[in-house]
A and B are shown apart, each in its own frame.
Chain A
Amino acid sequence: MLDSIVYVTMGFIGVAMVGTFWRLIKGPTIVDRVIAMDKLFVYSIGLILCLGMAEHTSLYYEAALLIATLGFISTTAMCKYLLRGDIIE
């Protein structure tokens, strides 16, 4: 039961990713794209967690943890760049 739920969830996340990816390519503004990128990072967290559940292992959770803490940092760097150009002043 749980296994099939995990797969269904993965499917949903996959669909969300396709949509977001479309937004990333399409734009139209760069801000849309940065947000799309950030969302793609968030979806990958979900994907990795589902993968771990499907394979009954916790070895991948740290990857999710890292995306959660670090993926956000590249988004902030992008934002800072958009605002100021120079990200380390």
Chain B
Amino acid sequence: MNIAWIIVLPLLGVIAPLLANPTRRNQVAWITAVLPFAALLITLYHAPAILAGEVVQQTWYWIPQIGLTLSFRMDGLALLFTLLILGIGLLIILYARYYLSSKDPMGRFYSYLILFMAAMLGIVNSGNLLQMWAFWELTSISSFLLIGFWSSTGKARKGARMALTITGAGGLALLAGILLIGKVVGSLELEAVLNSGRLLVEHQWYPVILALVLIGAFTKSAQFPFHFWLPHAMSAPTPVSAYLHSATMVKAGIFLLARMFPVLSGHDAWFVTVSLVGLATLLLGAYTALFKHDLKGLLAYSTISHLGLITLLLGMGTELAAVAALFHIVNHAVFKASLFMGVGIIDHETGTRDMRQINGLFKYMPHTAVLCIVAALSMAGVPLLNGFLSKEMFFAETLEQSAIGALSWLIPLLATIAGALSVAYSLRFIHDVFFNGEPKGLKKTPHEPPRYMRIPVEVLVALCILVGIFPALLVGDLLKSAGVAVLGGTLPYIPLYIWHGFNLPLLMSALALAGGIGIYARRKVLFQFQSHFKEVDANERFDAWLYQVITFIRRIEALIDKRSLQYYLAWLSVALLILLAAPLLNLSLVGDNVVITPLTAEVWAGTALIAIAALATVVNNRRRLFAALLISIVGLGVSLAFARFSAPDLALTQISVEVITTILLLLALFFLPQTTPKESKPGRLLRDIGLAGIFGGIMATLTYAMLTRPIETISDYFLANSKTGGGGTNVVNVILVDFRGFDTFGEITVLGIAALGIYKLTAGMRLFLPATNEDGLPWSRDKYPLILKQVSQSILPLALLISAYIFLRGHNLPGGGFIAGLITAIAIVQQYIGHGNDWIQKRFYANYVGFIAAGLSIALLTGLGSWLWQKPFLTSWFDYFTWPVFGKFELASAMLFDLGVYLTVVGAAMLILAKLGQLTVVEPYSEKED
């Protein structure tokens, strides 16, 4: 079974909950759980091999030249995280079924949740750093959606925005770091990066890379000084807090640290930064948690503190510390998720989370109370529970530290203090909530929650106990394989026992327990001390900071953005000129060995024609009709140039487009004001003439330099294979419909989109219709002059015949779908001109959007057709047949493709022109000039 399914199945699962009947909530939950469960089964299927040390990989190449691949890779570390994400995720799905009230849109909630799950699985299983980053950002987005799920409350919206800003900004830093890593290593594939050894550490960019990656990791994992978003993210529904903001998403940053451990650690900068940040976070979180009256606030700061502990462990750099970090990731996820779910139950049953109100719940909900107490003891690090084991390893490792030289003795001391604080807040959680008298001022009498709401908590608490008693049996292998992934090969002996004898770490644990009890007993003094400090609202500060940033940016914007297209364009052209001119400075005007062809009379005349017409267009640009006329002369000159220089196809296309453009300009003229006011000041004119002159000079130089250099063409292949491979002698057409058919398909799609965009733009347009022409004379009353009518009508069959002829011969002689399409469109437009809309609509119902759709479908199906013969998309086929009357003729799939081109062009051109023409059918407004 392909490991990509582990990500793809949950990704598909995003729509599953939306398909279920929203009123049947059990059904919604079941349907949501199916695909993640299947993913879990696939993971378990692969687990034995990975535990044995294998790395399962699956790679699809997209643009390998620039490092873009779709690649999935699962090793021990990824397996550990995958099991956490899927295992806890499934429990959360069950829990959320009972947590959400019937008013909440459950399908949407599950949909976001599964989106997050898929994104998280994507992070841990990505084999390509860029791909990992994409999933990383997806977790930020899904977290935003989930925090803001109750979007009607301002707190939820603010919390969501803050989390997105912080983690999103960190994500950008991470992207920069990843790109630098890719630059240094030469590949973005994780395998290559992990095998690069000390390359990154010894590179001169190492400090920058480290800083960027760490900012990414620290923002995501709520490390000091970015920790403040996490408590505000607690306005999310509790299942989300349990899942994203304690068990999984905030571990993504730590996952990143672990993933990059083999290549980025091994330098003092890593040890100092990571361990000090971790230590600061550990202490700050533990201390603040003690004073939080809100249950979720307490858990949030406790989470921050534990994340700091894991970061500290990773920063220590010893091998055993890294393993301890992995172990604590699992333990923390298990006990913290169960605590959050317990708090969710309490919140649900009492209607509040304030510990000053909630007291003595043991009496009312003994079962839940026992579960919460066990989990909280695990958080405190009490023996026989899983939290104890990793904390013991942590204490042992702090004793090994020498990162900060002679001051290293501080680390174990501070660690013990943090441990004591963590015991104290755990104790507060247990004592305040479940004992300590009677509840005060609750709106309802609490009782046990529904049976199934407790099951996820029970499962996790059972794990706390089981792992606490049989660690080696349950997680030994998992830790070993994850450890190998993080440390790269060598793995120390992991002491997974409960009892290590009487040693220093045990003493530290005992001190922490005793100290914690002491702190809690004397809490009144501490609370009083703390009340001297004004509580800082991170939200207000964040808003103030954000406001400053925005004001600053607005000021810069006001400096450079004048809200004027002319202004933008002038600066754009200046930039363009500099970019174009710079390389020309180092270029000789005339290349070598090229014979300059003499200027012949007809080329001279043609140049003069184009030049004079173009200049006249500029000079007369305010006389609008004349300018339209002149520009079509320029077009005529250009098509003559195409004809002269061996491009019959281009000449045909240019002429047809010329006619259509003229019609378009005339339509535009009617709806736009009749005159252009003279408003450019002389200075402006001079500036623009200067810019234009320089631009023209550069373009001319560029062209001349290009023309006088020998070219190397790749077209020999096309010339050689056009007849044999594409079945046509008109190489240009064969390139269009065969060799580069995929490009053409893209181009006609663009054409169709442009036409549809125009169609939408014309909807509901209020037009100004001029009552007189530009000389102030009234319009003629004869709408359809007889000669015009007759000529238009008689030209239709002729033009259609020419169009068919040009289309059919296109493969072998100048012509083809593009040109034929334009001719047909012109022939039909002529009918509109000669007879008007009503006349046409009575005789010919044309759905031009349908034309575009049909054309694109034909082109697409022709392309897909080659799949039937196991050939790549758009592989062409042709053969020669003999029919009695017609003789020998050729059939080619490319002709069918060309038909698609033809229909799209007709549809697009007609949609544009007919739509414009029809605008006046509505009751015209009287002239109202501005």
Note whether A and B contact each other (Cβ less than 8 A).
Answer: yes
The residue that A63 contacts in the complex, of B605, B655, B792, with Cβ under 8 A, is B655
Contacts of A89 in B (CB 8 A): 783, 836-837, 917, 920-921
Contacts of A63 in B (CB 8 A): 639, 643, 648, 651-652, 655, 814
Contacts of A48 in B (CB 8 A): 640, 643, 651
Q: Would you call B629 and A76 a contact (CB within 8 A)?
A: no
Tell me the complex Cα distance, A74–B656, Å. Answer: 10
Give min CB distance, A85 to chain B, whole Å.
5
Q: Would you call B788 and A71 a contact (CB within 8 A)?
A: no
The residue that A60 contacts in the complex, of B643, B670, B782, B829, with Cβ under 8 A, is B643
Q: Would you call A81 and B643 a contact (CB within 8 A)?
A: no
| A12-69 residues at the B interface, CB under 8 angstroms | 14, 17-18, 21, 24-25, 30, 33-34, 37, 40-41, 44, 47-48, 51, 59-60, 62-63, 65-67, 69
Known: A59-B814, A62-B815. A87 touches B833 (CB 8 A): yes
The residue that A74 contacts in the complex, of B659, B770, B783, with Cβ under 8 A, is B659
Known: A21-B609, A60-B643, A85-B670. A10 touches B836 (CB 8 A): no
Give min CB distance, B602 to chain A, whole Å.
7
Q: Would you call A62 and B652 a contact (CB within 8 A)?
A: yes
Contacts of A24 in B (CB 8 A): 629-630, 633
Q: Would you call B629 and A84 a contact (CB within 8 A)?
A: no
Contacts of B833 in A (CB 8 A): 73, 76-77, 80, 87-88
Tell me the complex Cα distance, A80–B780, Å. Answer: 10
Known: A41-B636, A48-B640, A88-B667. A81 touches B625 (CB 8 A): yes
Contacts of B782 in A (CB 8 A): 83
Give min CB distance, B819 to chain A, whole Å.
8
The residue that B788 contacts in the complex, of A40, A60, A65, A76, with Cβ under 8 A, is A76
Q: Would you call B626 and A33 a contact (CB within 8 A)?
A: yes
Q: Would you call B663 and A77 a contact (CB within 8 A)?
A: yes
Tell me the complex Cα distance, A13–B659, Å. Answer: 22
* B40 interfacial contact with A, CB 8 Å: no
Closest to B924 in A: A86
* B826 interfacial contact with A, CB 8 Å: yes
Tell me the complex Cα distance, A82–B777, Å. Answer: 10
Please indicate which of the listed interface residues A18, A33, A78, A88 has the most CB atoms of chain B within 10 Å of its own CB. Answer: A88
* B779 interfacial contact with A, CB 8 Å: yes
The residue that A70 contacts in the complex, of B666, B788, B826, with Cβ under 8 A, is B826
| B749-769 residues at the A interface, CB under 8 angstroms | 769
Tell me the complex Cα distance, A54–B813, Å. Answer: 19
Contacts of B669 in A (CB 8 A): 81
Q: Would you call B609 and A84 a contact (CB within 8 A)?
A: no
Tell me the complex Cα distance, A50–B304, Å. Answer: 86
Contacts of A59 in B (CB 8 A): 648, 813-814
Please indicate which of the listed interface residues A60, A71, A85 has the most CB atoms of chain B within 10 Å of its own CB. Answer: A85
Interface 0/1 of B904-929, CB less than 8 Å to A: 00000000011011101100000000
Contacts of A21 in B (CB 8 A): 609, 612, 633
Contacts of B43 in A (CB 8 A): none
Tell me the complex Cα distance, A70–B914, Å. Answer: 18
Known: A34-B629, A59-B813, A69-B795. A85 touches B770 (CB 8 A): yes
Tell me the complex Cα distance, A76–B663, Å. Answer: 10
* B554 interfacial contact with A, CB 8 Å: no
9-residue interface stretch from B233-241, B294-302, B344-352, B798-806? B798-806
Closest to A37 in B: B629
Tell me the complex Cα distance, A79–B829, Å. Answer: 15
Q: Would you call A71 and B655 a contact (CB within 8 A)?
A: yes
Known: A83-B779, A85-B770, A89-B920. A74 touches B658 (CB 8 A): yes
* B436 interfacial contact with A, CB 8 Å: no
* B429 interfacial contact with A, CB 8 Å: no
The residue that B632 contacts in the complex, of A17, A37, A80, with Cβ under 8 A, is A37
- By secondary structure, the B interface counts as helix
Contacts of B99 in A (CB 8 A): none
Closest to B784 in A: A89
Contacts of B616 in A (CB 8 A): 25
Q: Would you call B837 and A88 a contact (CB within 8 A)?
A: yes
Interface 0/1 of B615-645, CB less than 8 Å to A: 0100000000110011011001001100110
Contacts of A78 in B (CB 8 A): 625, 629, 662, 666
**Band of interface residues on A:** 35 or more
Closest to B819 in A: A66
- By secondary structure, the A interface counts as helix
Tell me the complex Cα distance, A84–B832, Å. Answer: 14
| B852-883 residues at the A interface, CB under 8 angstroms | none
Tell me the complex Cα distance, A48–B636, Å. Answer: 12
The residue that B662 contacts in the complex, of A25, A40, A77, A84, with Cβ under 8 A, is A77
Q: Would you call B633 and A67 a contact (CB within 8 A)?
A: no
Please indicate which of the listed interface residues B609, B625, B643 has the most CB atoms of chain A within 10 Å of its own CB. Answer: B643
Q: Would you call B795 and A62 a contact (CB within 8 A)?
A: no
Closest to A80 in B: B833
Q: Would you call A86 and B626 a contact (CB within 8 A)?
A: no
* B408 interfacial contact with A, CB 8 Å: no
Contacts of B651 in A (CB 8 A): 48, 60, 63
Give min CB distance, A22 to chain B, whole Å.
10
Give min CB distance, B700 to chain A, whole Å.
23
The residue that B823 contacts in the complex, of A18, A37, A40, A66, with Cβ under 8 A, is A66
Tell me the complex Cα distance, A30–B777, Å. Answer: 14
Residues of chain B having any CB pair with chain A under 8 Å: 601-602, 605, 609, 612, 616, 625-626, 629-630, 632-633, 636, 639-640, 643-644, 648, 651-652, 655-656, 658-659, 662-663, 666-667, 669-670, 769-770, 773, 779-780, 782-783, 785, 788, 791-792, 795, 798-799, 802, 806, 813-815, 823, 826, 829-830, 832-834, 836-837, 913-914, 916-918, 920-921
A-B complex: 10 closest residue pairs judged by Cβ atoms: A88-B917, A83-B780, A74-B662, A63-B651, A88-B832, A89-B836, A70-B659, A81-B666, A74-B659, A59-B648
Beyond contacts A48-B651, A60-B651: 16 other A-B pairs, Cβ-Cβ < 8 A, are: A14-B601, A17-B609, A21-B612, A25-B612, A30-B625, A37-B633, A63-B652, A66-B656, A66-B802, A70-B799, A81-B666, A81-B670, A83-B785, A86-B670, A87-B666, A89-B921
Residues of chain A having any CB pair with chain B under 8 Å: 10-11, 14, 17-18, 21, 24-25, 30, 33-34, 37, 40-41, 44, 47-48, 51, 59-60, 62-63, 65-67, 69-74, 76-89
- Between A and B, 27 residue pairs with Cβ closer than 8 Å are A11-B601, A17-B605, A21-B609, A21-B633, A24-B629, A30-B625, A34-B629, A37-B629, A48-B643, A59-B648, A63-B643, A65-B802, A66-B802, A67-B655, A69-B798, A69-B799, A73-B663, A73-B795, A74-B658, A74-B662, A76-B834, A79-B788, A84-B779, A84-B783, A85-B770, A87-B667, A87-B917
